[in-house]
Amino acid sequence: MTPAKTLTHLDADGRPAMVDVSGKAVSARQALAECRVRFPAAVAAQLRAAGLRSAKGGIVDTAVIAGTMAVKRTHELIPFCHPLPIDGVRIAIDWHGERELRIECGVKTVHRTGVEMEALTGATVAALTVYDMCKALSHAIVIGPAKLVGKRGGRRDVGAVG
């Protein structure tokens, strides 16, 4: 029988605590996350016709920069995330169907803990940036779902990272 899983960010008294990773082995780790942005049909058509450019500039280019910056600052946003040396970030944004953008964020590090939160943060901040750049066209834009696609390194691998 598999032992029950427990929350890792609680101490013995049930109070919030950062996980101590000092005893873990340093290893190569990577994670891939995605987030979707769905537009009303007319907005999607307008964005396609404009080559994903708005009055504020290139939507994809700006979202890639914002997502990358967010990856590097995840530990400042999520209370128990460790500051990590980020060895690589790849953000890809492309149409998925007629009305939806798929934002994919891959992150790599060599450290004692993984980069799942960094990948999720990068993908969602990139999606928020797309929303910000397009909200003048509609407030009916929908962000999500955001999800971890996969991770490698550490105790177990999950899903696919590439």
Q: Which fold has domain 37-151?
A: Alpha-Beta Plaits (3.30.70)
Q: What is the pLDDT at residue 159?
A: 92
Note if 61 is an active site residue: no
Q: What is the pLDDT at residue 3?
A: 61
Helices 59-72 and 116-134, axial angle in degrees (round to 10): 150
Q: What is the b/e burial string over 139-158, where b = at least 16 CB atoms within 10 angstroms of the residue's CB?
A: eebebeebebbbbbbbeeee
Strands 57-58 and 53-54, sheet pairing = antiparallel
Residues pairing with 105 in the sheet = 33, 91
Q: What is the pLDDT at residue 1?
A: 53
CA distance 40 to 44: 6
Give, for 91, the enclosing helix (H) or strand (E): strand 88-95
Q: What is the pLDDT at residue 55?
A: 82
Q: What is the pLDDT at residue 4?
A: 65
Q: What is the pLDDT at residue 85?
A: 96
Per-residue pLDDT of the chain (162 residues; tens, 9 = 90+): 556 677 777 777 778 778 878 888 899 999 999 999 999 999 999 999 999 998 889 999 999 999 999 999 999 999 999 999 999 999 999 999 999 999 999 999 999 999 999 999 999 999 999 999 999 999 999 999 999 999 999 888 899 897
Catalytic residue among 13, 87, 132, 157: 132
pLDDT tens-digit readout, 30-67: 999 999 999 999 999 999 999 999 888 999 999 999 99
The domain segmentation of the chain, as residue ranges, is 37-151
